[in-house]
Structure formats: C-alpha cells, structure tokens
Amino acid sequence: MTLGATSDIVGTKTQGRGLIGLLLVAIPVVLVAWMVIYPIISAVVTTLWMPDANGTDAFTLKTYRFFFSDGYSLANLQLTLWTTALCGIILLVVCLPIALYLRFAKGRLAAYVQGLAIFPLFVPSIILSYAFIRVLGPNGMVDIILNAMHLPKIRTPYLTPWGPLIGLVWDHIPLTVLILLAGLGVVSDASVEAARDVGAGRFRVFWNIILPKLGNSILVAVSFAVLGIFSSFTLPYVLGPAAPEMMGPFMQRTFRDLYDAPNAITQAVISFFFCIVFGLFYVRSVVKNQRGRG
C-alpha cells in the first residue's frame, strides 16, 4: 500500500544509498535468475534440442508430440485443469463471504472466525492427508457419526479426484482469505455508509461499491491459488486416485521411477506454460496497481 514510499529508498538521492538499494535487490534477483529463470530456459532448450537417431543434436518436438498424442498424459493434464478450475471457483465461493464478514464484523466472534480461517496455514499437508483419511475415509469419523444417527454411509471421496480437491480447497483458504481481506481494506467505511444513506441494500453495496474495488484482489487471490494447486504434490499423491494422476505426482513418477528425464521435463514445461498465464495476470495487476498509485 505504500509503494510510493518504498521506491524513495531506492531512489537516486545520493550515490551511496542507491548502491545499497541495488545490492539489497541484487540477491533476490540473482537467486531468481539462477534458480528459476535459468532452469526454465534450460528445460525448454533440453526438450527442444535432443540427439536424433544418428546421435547428433537437432531441433525436435518429439517429446511434445508424444505428450499430446498420449491419451494417458492428456487425461492427467485434463484432471489437473479440472481440479484447478474447480478449486479456484470453490475457493472464491467459500472465501469471499468469510473475508466480507471479517472486514465488517467486530468483536470476539470475528477474532475466532479469523483464527479458524487462518488455521490451515499451520497444518502441514501430509498431516492433513492422514487426518482426511481418518475423517472422510471409509469407516472414518463422518461414517461413524452418520451410523450413530442411523443414516447410510457416504461414498468416500478418498482415492477419487474429489479427495485432493477437498484437501486443496481447505489448504488454500488462509491465503485466499488474507489476500481478499487486504483488498477489502481499500474499501472505506465512509463510502459504504454513504451508499447506505442513499438507500442501497446489502447486495447493491456489494455489487456497486465493494466489488469494483475488489476485482484486482480477486484476480491475485485466484492466481496464487491456481499456481499452488496446479503444481500441488502431497495431497493428490496421498488422497487422489491411481489414474489419472495430477501433473505433480505424474512428473515425479516419470522422473524418479521411470528415469525418463526428457518426458518429465516436457511435462514440467507444459505445466509451466499453463501457470505462466496466471502469473502474467498477477504481474499485470501489480504493475497496474503501481502505475495507478505512482
């Protein structure tokens, strides 16, 4: 929120201070270049530039052709996209009301709700997975409660695509709520009260006053959730079905069990291109924000 002030620190007021500023950003920039940008470039190059039948290196698309002609790989990609899209939608539906409540409610109950909403942040996903099996798994806690009430058992989501979906939504609630809550901070009490004074109902206030200001935060929240879910590993590994797999476990299995590095890297590059779309949304919104304030 105070990007204007921070940019003064790296400003060019004196030579020495500018140098320190550059040194401070140099470390993260070098780290990103070394551990993110370079591997990406190297991955793209390795998958496009491979030895052909004669052993000489040449440009080839064979691993990509294999991926997009292999029904098994495509089913995995499709499941990943399905899980990601559905998770994004469910997260918004679940988190927006929580964030709105936390923005406008005061008092002790709101503090408890906030604590509960942030709680998943502190639960490691492997613990969550085993807890999930105990609660929602076959003959788990839910089944025991249903049985006590003489109701039929549920069809367990464990080992179906719904297992990781439920786990991932729960896991991503804190980050989404926090980002939306930060976005709601921009909405001033005065503007909400002014709208109420002229007779706007709850829904009108939300639709005409709050939502226009929140668009950016929703985009950021969804981008973050999507990036995390697309590349998730533990929850789909433990809770998901054997096939189709999500891209995370699929890549790991291709690389470590089959020793098939070229195809594993190809899967990574394909995942990367799907993620970059949402990464660009995020970058665009940050840049827009900065320009708007600068």
Partner 1 sequence: MKRRDFMISASAAAAGAALLPKMAFAAANRIDWYTSSDQNIIDFWTNIIKPKFEAANPGVTLNLVDAGDSAGLQAIEARAVAALASKADPQADFFEGSEARLPPGALEAGVYVDFSKAGLSNYSKLNPLAADIPQNITYRGSQVLLAYDTTKLPADKAPKTWADLVAWIKANPGQFIYNRPDKGGSGGNFVVRAIWEANGRDPSKFTVDNYKPETGDPMLQKGFDILKDLAPSLMDQGAYTSGNTQSIQLLSQGAVTMIPAWSDQALSAIKTGVLPETTGLVQLSDLALAGGFTKNTIPVNGVNKAQALKLQDFILTEEIQSAIITELGGFPGVSWDYVSKDLHDKYKDVIPASIPTWPGGDWDKNMKDGWYRNVAPNVDRNA
Candidates 19, 151, 194, 280; binder of partner 1 (CB under 8 A) is 19
Candidates 88, 120, 137, 248; binder of partner 1 (CB under 8 A) is 137
**Residue 34 makes contact with partner 1 by CB under 8 A:** no
Strands (E), 22-94: 49-51, 57-59
The C-alpha atoms of residue 130 and residue 137 are separated, in whole angstroms, by: 9
Beta bridge partners of 51: 57
**Residue 258 makes contact with partner 1 by CB under 8 A:** yes
Question: Tokens 């708007």 label which residue?
Answer: 292
Query: Cα 184 to chain center, whole Å?
Result: 20
Amino acid at 40: I
**Residue 198 makes contact with partner 1 by CB under 8 A:** no
**Residue 244 makes contact with partner 1 by CB under 8 A:** yes
The token pair that represents 157 in the structure block: 């989501």
Residue 272 CB, nearest approach to partner 1 (Å): 23
The C-alpha atoms of residue 283 and residue 11 are separated, in whole angstroms, by: 22
Q: What mask of x and - would describe binding to partner 1 in positions 52 to 91, judged by CB under 8 A?
A: --------------------x--x----------------
Residue 18 CB, nearest approach to partner 1 (Å): 12
Q: How far is CA 21 from CA 48, 50, 136, in A?
A: 39, 42, 51
The token pair that represents 110 in the structure block: 């709101």
Residue 117 CB, nearest approach to partner 1 (Å): 29
The C-alpha atoms of residue 230 and residue 83 are separated, in whole angstroms, by: 8
Binding piece for partner 1, criterion CB under 8 A, among 94-102, 135-143, 180-188, 194-202: 135-143
Residue 134 CB, nearest approach to partner 1 (Å): 8
Q: What is the contact surface with partner 1 in residues (CB under 8 A)?
A: 16, 19-20, 23, 72, 75, 130, 133-134, 137-140, 156, 158-160, 237-238, 240-245, 253, 256-259
